[in-house]
Structure 1
């Protein structure tokens, strides 16, 4: 009996030792990933929660906070410039995002073609604008869209018989210049995503379709587009969210925040202007909260669309 009890104690000790080893492994794993969550809590989660709190306060960044309720939201919703920034953001998103999707898909299809030589060279060249310094981009586009008649774009449209355009002051001149800059910077990024999606499609499907006499257009329509639909939805979603967060391109196009005209004012620029030029952190936070719910709205739409596409793919 004494021997049996000793064996039972030994077994329990071994089990507890094993459990303690598992616990140690879990603790060490949490310690390894903890820096990300600590930094996210400090620089991500806390500013988000504080912005929600600040949206109901009147605060200039130095003095004491004063609770004002919904007055900050009322102020921005009654400000014509806020609605102008909403309108500008939507138009710039349509002009800059929609061509990215279409041209990016065409470029990815060409880069994925078997007949194309020097593929790596073209892939690097297309992706280069994404990694180019934004200061260099600003200098380049300030020359291209110069208001002078000798500017590159004005020279081109002058050959076509049109009058020079004031690209930094006219309504559609500003939007055309900024949307072109957005398109130039981001089309390569979307192209690479589409290219990754195209390379995941089995090549045997194209070979079978070619043996059945399907043309290139029919292969693209009945094989490429259906199988690439999740990637297209994902890219469209990312581009839409990026369009609502448009900030750098219009700012560097005008040079300074004080020089940003109403024609190029986006929602994020309006937010930045309220906070760091007008020292109205309450209205700036209210703008951020409104922008948060706008992005959440598009996120929910994307979730339902992707969920429906997954159900269709599983049912088929």
Structure 2
């Protein structure tokens, strides 16, 4: 009897020890199991194309002949030696500034307004998202007609107030402004809803204490709302940076040619990449442009991250 009880106790101890071990394994490995679908999909659709593009960028590669000889960094040297690449870089940075900065500012203001107790607030909150639902092709066609050089709606409005018409498709800055307006029209409402969701999570006690101290709405926005939105603002700025540097649809559809203007007035890097890849069928050089754009996004994204964190920390 004593021997059997000892054996049973050992079995119970082993079962407890094994269940405890399984519990520890569950705590350690189950989170990675839950996020594994995203990692797998990202590896297939994101990481693999990125690495494959790096391979293509160091070879002669065209659509018809496929992979050619290994050329090392010659494709990068060729791209960096082209004047059109630097024009595209200038246009991309110009449009990026005209889209990202106003988009974040206006989205913050719209979110602050929608955060108040408005009548039919659900209607207004859904209304700011409507431009995002509109197809980019439709937005580009409407705005390209509005900003037509001769008989566009904007130039007709300028003529009514005695101003000279603007060559929106012929000049550099006006074309960048028109394209940036298209981008901001589509994405400002979407960004505003992200900021609004973050504002809803801020405790109302802060605002009540500020109102007792006599702080107005603008002071509450600067001293309470913006510091509390620091993580969300960093996310919004980073995503706006990536989207602004990868802009393609609006410049492509701004005119019927789709090449970025007769003198490349609004040709962006992505449009230059498209013209190299599908216009000249040179996938090696197009992949080199893609990697240069990838590095540019990383550099500007890190700068934006550092600047936004510093500004937000100074607000607190």
TM-score, normalisation: structure 2: 0.86
Q: CA deviation at 1:109?
A: 1.3
Q: What does residue 42 of structure 2 align with? A: 40
Structure 2 residue 111 is matched with structure 1 residue 108:
yes
Q: Is the 8 A contact 1:230 1:306 kept in 2?
A: no
**Structure 1 residues 258 and 223 mapped into 2: Cα distance closer, same or farther (>3 Å)?**
closer
> Following TM superposition, by how much is the alpha carbon of 1:28 offset from its aligned partner in structure 2, in angstroms?
9.4
Quote how far apart the aligned CAs of 1:107 are.
Answer: 1.2
Name the CA shift for 1:274/1:227 in 2 (closer, same or farther; >3 Å).
Answer: same
Report the counterpart of residue 212 of structure 2 in structure 1: 211
Aligned to 1:117: 119
- TM-score, normalized by length of structure 1? 0.86
Equivalence for 2:202: 201
Which residue number corresponds to residue 81 of structure 1? 84
In structure 1, runs of 5+ residues without a counterpart are: none
CA contact (8 A) 1:257 1:273 kept: no
Query: Contact between 2:252 and 2:259, CA under 8 Å: does it hold in 1?
Result: no
CA-CA distance at 1:232 after TM superposition:
2.8
Q: Which moved more, 1:58-67 or 1:11-20?
A: 11-20
Deviations 1:6-34 (A, max 9, x none): 32563376358748976799999977765
**Contact persistence 1:230–1:309 (CA under 8 A):** no
Deviation by residue 1:133-192 (Cα, 9 ceiling, x = unmatched)? 12221232132112333x211111111222223322322232121111011011101111
Question: What residue in structure 1 maps to residue 168 of structure 2?
Answer: 167
Q: Closer, same or farther in 2 for the Cα pair 1:19/1:203, shift >3 Å?
A: closer
Query: Deviation digits for residues 194-243 of structure 1, max 9, x if unmatched?
Result: 21222222222222222222233332332223323443333222211211
SS at match of 2:175: helix
Report Cα offsets for 1:238-281 as digits up to 9, x if no partner: 21121111111111222454465411111111112111111111
The equivalent of 1:189 in structure 2 is: 190
Task: From the superposition, tell whether residues 302 and 7 of structure 1 become closer, same or farther in structure 2 (CA, over 3 Å).
Answer: farther
Q: In the aligned structure 2, how far is the partner of 1:312 from the partner of 1:157?
A: 42
What is the DSSP-based 3-state SS (H/G/I as helix, E as strand, rest coil) of the residue aligned with 1:243?
A: helix
Shift of 1:307: 6.5
Give the 3 Å change call, closer, same or farther, for CA 165–228 of structure 1 in structure 2. Answer: same
Establish whether residue 288 from structure 1 lines up as the match of residue 290 from structure 2. Answer: yes
Match of 1:263, SS state, is coil
CA contact (8 A) 1:251 1:260 kept: no
Matches within 5 A, 1:165-314: 165-258=166-259, 260-261=261-262, 262-304=264-306
Distance 1:301 1:131 in 2: 31
Aligned to 1:14, the other structure's residue is in SS state: helix
